[in-house]
């Protein structure tokens, strides 16, 4: 038999079961691990996106917009996974002591009518891994009336500090089209209006990602409680 898998030295808490627990109910174990993969992917991009919000410079803007797009696409994939196993995931989340408020917030995010869910689906289907020509063309039209546009921008000449500026701008505009009320503002006020509207929408998406990830954590907690996993602290 192989030795136990050890935790990392920095860890203060972990949950363990015998390895052969996986074979006692492989479908449920597989679902819990798939949910965990989705949780890890979304939270990694969410954490990175949050870390870029207060950074400055063109590379930071590139990173922020791209991380948000990837996190949004992964959240839509996560919702597809949850909805494909909805009954069981909800049972596990309830056993994992998810609150009524969390269930209500999840239902709101998961609704096809919610702005966040529509954005997640659009980004996943059109703007991440696909860069759909029709979606990009629609976004680009908003830049045609500018006196000039920037295609490439950098701080220094390294790849890491270089951004395809128009591509980044077009991506953000596709995700968060400028509201008509902001477009009507005088030019001197428009930039600030765009920033405020974009930040509001961005924070709404990031909050929705936490709702979805929170539900998954409770579902996995519920599964671990069901199989009587053992928690360890140090």
Residue 183 pLDDT > 80, yes or no?
no
- The tens digit of pLDDT for each residue in 188-230 reads 777 777 778 788 889 999 999 999 999 999 999 999 999 999 9
Q: How confident is the model at residue 84 (pLDDT cuts 50, 70, 90)?
A: very high
Return the pLDDT at 179.
Answer: 78
**Mean predicted confidence (pLDDT) in 108-120:** 95
Give the pLDDT confidence score for residue 31 in this predicted structure. Answer: 98
pLDDT in the model for residue 151: 96
> pLDDT for 116-172, tens place per residue?
999 999 999 999 988 999 999 999 999 998 899 999 999 988 999 999 999 999 999
pLDDT at 231: 93
The band of 54, judged by pLDDT with boundaries at 50, 70 and 90, is: confident
Closest CA to 158 of 24, 27, 59: 59
Q: Supply the DSSP string of the chain, one letter for each residue.
A: -PPPPPPPTT--EEEE--GGGGGTSHHHHHHHHHHHHHHHHHHHHHHHHHHHTT--SHHHHHHHHHHHHHHHHHHHHHHHHHHHTHHHHHHHHHHTT--HHHHHHHHHHHSTTSHHHHHHHHIIIIISSS--HHHHHHHHGGGTTSS---S-EESSS-GGGEE-HHHHHHHHHHHSPPPHHHHTS-HHHHHHHHHHHHHHHHHHHHHHHHHHHHHHHHHHHHHHHHTT-EEEE-
In this predicted structure, the answer to whether residue 178 has a pLDDT above a threshold of 90 is: no
């Amino acid at each position: 038999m192989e030795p136990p898998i050890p935790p990392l030295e920095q860890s203060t808490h972990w949950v363990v079961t015998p390895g052969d627990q996986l074979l006692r109910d492989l479908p449920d174990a597989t679902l819990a691990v798939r949910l965990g993969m989705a949780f890890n992917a979304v939270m990694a991009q969410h954490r990175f996106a949050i870390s870029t919000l207060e950074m400055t410079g063109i590379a930071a803007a590139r990173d922020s917009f791209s991380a948000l797009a990837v996190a949004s696409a992964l959240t839509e994939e996560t919702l597809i996974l949850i909805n494909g196993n909805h009954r069981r995931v909800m049972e596990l989340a309830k056993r994992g002591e998810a609150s009524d408020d969390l269930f209500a917030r999840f239902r709101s995010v998961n609704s096809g009518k919610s702005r966040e869910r529509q954005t997640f689906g659009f980004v996943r289907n059109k703007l991440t891994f696909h860069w759909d020509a029709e979606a990009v063309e629609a976004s680009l039209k908003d830049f045609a009336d500018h006196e000039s546009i920037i295609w490439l921008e950098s701080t220094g000449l390294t790849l890491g500090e270089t951004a395809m500026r128009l591509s980044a701008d077009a991506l953000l505009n596709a995700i968060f089209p400028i509201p008509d009320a902001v477009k009507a503002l005088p030019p001197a006020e428009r930039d600030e209006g765009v920033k405020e509207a974009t930040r509001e929408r961005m924070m709404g998406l990031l909050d929705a990602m936490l709702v979805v990830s929170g539900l998954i954590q409770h579902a996995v907690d519920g599964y671990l409680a069901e199989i009587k996993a053992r928690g360890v602290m140090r």
